[in-house]
Structure 1
């Protein structure tokens, strides 16, 4: 049986450097931040490729980490199922979720359950390049036939 690992302190896991030349779009960043502070909130940045959605998300992640150091910040590559799974494996490793070393474990369920556990604190999770909803179908609460939100 796997021994529980000591969980780390909340951290910011963004695989990109902060852009020192980022032009603050104050109002937009403020709106994102404000909407993200509500419990169980979701915010979608939608627009054509190249308009700066990912840069806004990156800047928001770093600002969240600075302004709320008790908040976990995770970045998930959601462009395809393999990258999604790899990102979830990295999250499971980062937070030391029990069972994460088992290659047969359902990493989506492990991370989902960890995120739902209020004892683990606040978190921000960015799904980057989530252009195809079917890529998200392995996530708990999703199915290829249902797009309803189950509150997860």
Structure 2
């Protein structure tokens, strides 16, 4: 009986070893896809490749100045760091941006994932989602979006 058990155990161990080795030596599927150029790899005017910007690094985000015309500033460019001077009405349509505001009477945030830093904001209507509004005062907030946060410094 001992010999039969040893034979079975040895046979099963050998089969397991063969199956394991066969799995390790199987060829991986071939990928015939050829690499393609992306926008971040295209040469710039000086012949050098443009580096892709990291949106999570504030030092790599384009910085722009917002304009207040006829009492209203409208921010529509996403993925930027915007500074808006004192303006009665500010409308933010952009998303994924950092926005610095001067004194503002009426703020509307329709975009999403914005970090809005205001000195003073009297009233804010937020219809977008996942925005953060930080001010030096406590504005009247009408939050019609989701996961928005208003904080006072």
| TM-score interval (norm. to shorter) | under 0.3
TM-score by length of 2: 0.23
Greater Rg, structure 1 or structure 2? 2
TM-score by length of 1: 0.23
| Structure (1 or 2) with the greater helix fraction | 1
| Structure (1 or 2) with the greater strand fraction | 2
